[in-house]
Amino acid sequence: MTNSEDPILSIQNLHKTYSDGFEALKDINLDISKGEIIALLGPNGAGKTTLISIICGIVRPTSGKVTVCGYDIIRDFRKTRSIIGLVPQELTTDSFETVWSTITFSRGLYGKPPNTQHIEKVLRELSLWDRKDSMIMTLSGGMKRRLMIAKALSHEPEVLFLDEPTAGVDVSLRQDMWEIVSELKQSGVTIILTTHYIDEAEEIADRVGIINDGELILVEEKHTLMRKLGKKQLILELSQPLALIPGSLASFELELSADGNQLVYTFDTQAERTGITSLLDDLKESGIAFRDLDTTQSTLEEIFVNLVSDAPVGQGGPQ
Amino acid sequence: MNLHGVLAIYKFEMARTSRTLVQSIVAPVITTSLYFIVFGAAIGSRIQQVEGVSYGAFIVPGLIMLNLLTHSISNASFGIYFPKFVGTIYEVLSAPVSTMEVVLGYVGSAATKSLILGIIILFTAAFFVDLQIAHPFVMLFFLVSTAASFSLLGFIIGIWADNFEKLSVVPMLLVTPLIFLGGSFYSIDMLPPLWQTISLFNPVLYLVSGFRWSFYEIADVNVGVSMLCIILFMAACLSVVFWIFKTGYKLRT
């Protein structure tokens, strides 16, 4: 049905308005390639979960079209849903079931014949094999989170949705999750994750999409995004404290630290001229010496905060 | 058809029963035995035969129907309400299963459990009274169709309910009175003419009457009417279930 160049997931003009009139999604367009990891960032209530829920069949779209491997999610729901695995945000499990039985249930539900080897492989990969006969209620929060992933992987999906996979988990478990995601990517699974942890997207995603108020305001390759929108700062540690910035340096719009020991110059990495050479020349002419210098780049978090507070943004745009 | 999906739901629900064996099987059997002791032995000994059948034997079909109806509703309503309550319903909604397959899984397991219970009660009754089954296939028809149709009703209630009170309000305030007033423990010939007419508006009367006919060939209403009644009821429940999945009522927003 599709060739390798076609997107594995294609969303076109997707709208969702709930019965109470709330417009959760506004004209979402997005193509996702096979094997990539895309992180959807956005504040609470931005529409991330609604978007995932529509693709997985839990929420009905108001209008628009979504295809998975070229199959329509409504007309060919059996095909698309068997390709998709979903790890929801909430830890919703049957407390009185065992790990083994709940995963066997998930595999069967998705139309796959029993395959104990595959389930064993998934459980071992997620460090749950030793707990296969344990009741779910006896598992720790981290184990339950891994169990949710195991359930979603039980039917060997090609596309995996992770809705806030690390919400409320400790630092070491977050690292574990990132490793799991990275291993899944290596095995060829396409991963769409939602998060509001920016460092998570920065760490593991190939592309980042930013959703705010139901609109996909930007989708960009992570490094391109940071290069495009990230500002760099040159920090100069002065040899002697400065009381005021000399008038000759006014054009650089420098910032002086409160103690007068640090000068900060913010520049655009995309600009034809960064102005660094001129600044250093002018500093020398003004007799201002410095003993050290450093540069810092905006984090994805700063980019994100800027974007959602200034939305809509002209740069980038949905792909 | 996603047969693995249907079987997954069916087995999951059946396994849930095996974990609550006392509540699902032992409790109804004890309750029924108590009915026989009280109505059959204690009170029944003072009641004359009803249309040639001892009172203890007369109430057996009614008692089986009472259990079949209440447990079909509670099994199916709880089966679908619980995943909604704890949130695991997301998995069923996002799985490649059709309406019919979901219904087959949940309603099939609820009806199976009720049927098993009905048969156990039948055997329990045989210890207390002298039973005869004149038309076993007709009895089986009523047993299966009642279990299936009231499991469908339970499924509808489970989807409609958004709290535990709603879950129990229909069985307690509607179904139980209908069962008790539907001739489970008496023939409507024993009632004054006005109440006989009113009883004819009670759908459960037709089930109990038809079911009792399959045992002793005595009935309050024609057995053909009873059969038509249960078929119409099942068709109505199926239509509502299809409407629910078509519109996503209380399931998909």
A190/A243 same-domain check? no
A121/A217 same-domain check? yes
The reply to whether omega before A157 is within 30° of 0 (cis) is: no
Strands A290-297 and A231-238: what pairing? antiparallel
Q: When comparing pLDDT for B186 and A54, which is higher?
A: A54
A144, part of any domain: yes
A74, part of any domain: yes
pLDDT tens-digit series, residues B75-84: 899 888 988 8
The pLDDT assigned to A313 comes to 39
Q: Is the dihedral of CA A87, A95, B159, B228 positive or negative?
A: positive
The pLDDT assigned to A218 comes to 84
- Structural domains of chain A, count: 2
Strands A37-41 and A207-212: what pairing? parallel
Examine the pLDDT at A251 and tell me if it is beyond 90.
no
Is the minimum CB–CB distance between B246 and chain A shorter than 8 Å? no
The pLDDT assigned to A91 comes to 81
Is the minimum CB–CB distance between B4 and chain A shorter than 8 Å? yes
Query: What are the structure tokens assigned to B117, written together?
Result: 């219970």
Alpha-carbon span B237 to B244, nearest angstrom: 11
A109 contacts B92? CB cut-off 8 A = yes
Domain coverage including residue A255: 232-297
A152/A241 same-domain check? no
The per-residue b/e assignment along B112-142, b for 16 or more CB within 10 angstroms, e otherwise, is bbbbbbbebbbebbeebbebeeeeeebbebb
Greatest CA separation for chain B = 59
A58 contacts B90? CB cut-off 8 A = yes
A26/A149 same-domain check? yes
The pLDDT assigned to B147 comes to 92
Query: What are the structure tokens assigned to A242, written together?
Result: 């400065």
Examine the pLDDT at A314 and tell me if it is beyond 50.
no
The residue extents of the domains of chain B are 3-247
State mean pLDDT over B150-162.
91
A212 strand-pairing partners: A215
A265/A127 same-domain check? no
A180/A236 same-domain check? no
Q: At what angle do helices B223-247 and B136-160 cross, to 10 degrees?
A: 30
Report the gap between the CA of B113 and the closest CA in chain A (Å): 19
Cβ(A85)–Cβ(A122) below 8 Å:
no
Alpha-carbon span A96 to A137, nearest angstrom: 6
Examine the pLDDT at A106 and tell me if it is beyond 80.
yes
A94 contacts B91? CB cut-off 8 A = no
pLDDT tens-digit series, residues B16-36: 877 777 777 788 888 888 887
B1: chain A residues, CB-CB within 8 Å: none
A127, part of any domain: yes
B 167-206 residues with CB < 8 A to A: none
pLDDT tens-digit series, residues A112-170: 898 899 899 889 888 889 998 989 999 888 888 889 989 999 998 999 999 888 776 77
State mean pLDDT over B120-130.
85
- Residue A303 φ then ψ, to 5°: -60, -45
Mutate to test the interface with B, among A60, A109, A144 (most CBs of B within 10 A): A109
A74/A134 same-domain check? yes
The pLDDT assigned to B187 comes to 79
Percentage above 70 pLDDT, chain B:
97
Q: Is the dihedral of CA B237, B240, B244, B246 positive or negative?
A: positive
- Cβ-Cβ contacts under 8 Å for B187 (sequence gap 6 or more): B50, B51, B58, B218, B220
Strands A9-17 and A63-68: what pairing? antiparallel
A304, part of any domain: no
The per-residue b/e assignment along A220-257, b for 16 or more CB within 10 angstroms, e otherwise, is bbbeebbebbbebebbbebeeebeebeeebeebebebe
Of A50-54, A82-86, A295-299, B230-234, give the lowest mean pLDDT range: A295-299
A78 contacts B252? CB cut-off 8 A = no
pLDDT tens-digit series, residues A205-246: 889 888 888 888 888 887 777 666 667 788 889 888 888 888
Report the gap between the CA of A17 and the closest CA in chain B (Å): 10
Examine the pLDDT at A84 and tell me if it is beyond 60.
yes
- Report CA B14 to chain centroid distance, whole Å: 17
Among A75, A68, A52, A62, residue whose Cα is nearest residue A26 = A62
A159/A285 same-domain check? no
A127/A253 same-domain check? no
Among A211, A227, A243, the domain boundary falls at: A227
The residue of chain B with its CA nearest to that of A80 is: B96
Q: Would you place residue A4 in the very low, low, confident or very high pLDDT band (cuts 50, 70, 90)? A: low
Examine the pLDDT at B151 and tell me if it is beyond 60.
yes
State mean pLDDT over A176-189.
84
The pLDDT assigned to B96 comes to 92
Among B49, B7, B33, B13, residue whose Cα is nearest residue B218 = B49
Question: What are the angstrom distances between the C-alpha of A185 and each of A30, A32, A34, A99, A165?
Answer: 20, 14, 10, 24, 15
A177/A290 same-domain check? no
Among A15, A115, A123, A1, residue whose Cα is nearest residue A65 = A15
- Tell me the whole-structure pTM to 2 decimals: 0.78
Alpha-carbon span A39 to A289, nearest angstrom: 44
B253 contacts A18? CB cut-off 8 A = yes
pLDDT tens-digit series, residues A6-52: 789 999 999 999 888 888 899 999 999 998 999 988 888 888 889 99
Quickly tell me which residue has 């989807």 as its tokens: B159
Of A90-94, A197-201, A283-287, B224-228, give the lowest mean pLDDT range: A197-201
Identity of the amino acid at A12: Q
Identity of the amino acid at A231: K
Examine the pLDDT at B119 and tell me if it is beyond 70.
yes
The pLDDT assigned to A316 comes to 36
A21/A108 same-domain check? yes
pLDDT tens-digit series, residues B83-114: 888 888 888 989 998 888 888 999 999 999 99
Q: CATH no. for residue A278?
A: 3.30.70
A219/A280 same-domain check? no
Q: Would you place residue B138 in the very low, low, confident or very high pLDDT band (cuts 50, 70, 90)? A: very high
Query: What are the structure tokens assigned to B80, written together?
Result: 């679908």
State mean pLDDT over B225-250.
86
Q: CATH no. for residue A143?
A: 3.40.50.300
Among A194, A227, A260, the domain boundary falls at: A227
Identity of the amino acid at B239: S
